[in-house]
Structure 1
């Protein structure tokens, strides 16, 4: 069984002792039962390849059920309780894969208009347990998404890259040599790579790309040649 994130222990006295997914008795100090934990589409280091332009890329899950439906439900249904649970599970999946701890985590920022409409930045909330357990800062102010882009899910690979070109603007210098960019889902990696380019241009030597989930297709016949899944 993978490393289990510990902050849930402080909430045990206040939460229902049932699994967040199925309602059965959960593992003490953890939001899921043994069965649901084992059934999640966990990724290991061997399941992933680095994205171009980054030092390392790490994701907790493959983007498939039930993680995919959870992420969509959170994003459009504003289920903040499930968001907190998924943040803890993301930390559980990512922490054992790390070989180096970055100086800070940078959640991919939302454009102001989208942030106001949604009410929260999903990437930021999912990254909170990671930052807390690693004891490093979450960067929420230095970089702004100055371009209101189309949703990446509506575009093909080449359109995604063009969509996020020059979408981010750095407002202040960053006193860090190693930063992990965090996004909820990595598909082509276009958004994270664009943000990584901004960081490298400002002298950040090592840029990791982390995510809750990643699109990983294992069979050659499943691959779309228009998409760089790795």
Structure 2
């Protein structure tokens, strides 16, 4: 999403006092009305099992409707009008769960071919409100995806891990000791696990995994 499109969306959002989901009056300074906010599949960090090889993982939502519908609509339908709303909601869910602030936030990179085709990196755009609120840098250049991989959604757990081997490369030194990796959806954790191993092998001492949503066999949903 370019800067003009972002500013135009913010301008329209400021003029529209209605809930982004149902059209009823929204809460002041927030994109949703109270009932829609309460009904979202918020995750309680205390009830979410840790990802393999990663003691700290935080997700705002369970991968359920309407969050799953929004993510799919944005990614494959290029419904960018909802991107800023979902970024705000993601920050709302993640920020209260933090016990410490990392030095930097790394959105999972897209391969340049996929980025050019899609036109934007969903993980990057969803991570922007978090980085802005926390006052930490977004890492968009030091780590890149050099290997063009098959879409993870088409593969099983074992294939996902093999698909991502050596997919990422660090192209510039990372002067950070504590980094949070951000992805839009975490399923098996294969993508973030590959990135985490790369960071730890290149001087980063501590890695956390953050995401907008996470698929879980059994979820603990909290209502605000």
Q: TM-score, normalised by structure 2?
A: 0.91
Per-residue CA deviation, residues 155-205 of structure 1 (Å, 9 max, x unaligned), is: 100000001011000001100000000000000000000000000000101
Describe how 1:87-98 pairs up with structure 2 within 5 A.
87-98=87-98
Bigger shift: 51-60 or 98-107? 51-60
Q: Which runs of 4+ in 1 moved over 4 A?
A: 10-13
Report the CA distance shift for 1:108/1:19 in structure 2 as closer, same or farther (over 3 A): same
Considering only aligned residues, what root-mean-square deviation do their CA atoms show, in Å?
Answer: 1.4
Q: Secondary structure at the match of 1:116?
A: helix
Residue 186 of structure 2 corresponds to 186
Judging changes above 3 Å, is the alpha-carbon distance between structure 1 residues 178 and 55 closer, same or farther for their aligned structure 2 residues? farther
Aligned partners of 1:195, 1:37: CA distance in 2, in Å?
32
Point out the more displaced range, 12-21 or 163-172.
12-21
The aligned counterpart of 1:149 is 149
Give the TM-score, by structure 1 length. 0.88
User: Does the aligned pair in 2 maintain the 1:59–1:210 contact within 8 Å?
Assistant: yes
Tell me the distance in 2 between the aligned counterparts of 1:69 and 1:164: 26
- Cα deviation for residue 85 of structure 1 reads 0.2
User: Residue in 1 aligned with 2:6?
Assistant: none
Partner of 1:124: 124
Secondary structure class of the residue paired with 1:14: helix
- Does 1 or 2 have the higher relative contact order (CA < 8 Å, sep 6+)? 2
* Shift in Å, 1:45: 1.1
Where in structure 2 are the equivalents of 1:9-24 lying within 5 Å?
14-24=14-24
Partner residue, 1:171: 171
Residues 37, 142 of structure 1: alpha-carbon distance in 2 compared, 3 angstrom cutoff: same
Counterparts of 1:55 and 1:88, CA distance in 2: 25
Query: Corresponding residue for 2:213?
Result: 213
Query: What are structure 1's unaligned runs of at least 5 residues?
Result: 1-9, 220-230
DSSP 3-state at the match of 1:20: coil
Query: Is the 1:185–1:212 Cα contact (8 Å) retained in structure 2?
Result: yes
Q: How many residues align?
A: 210
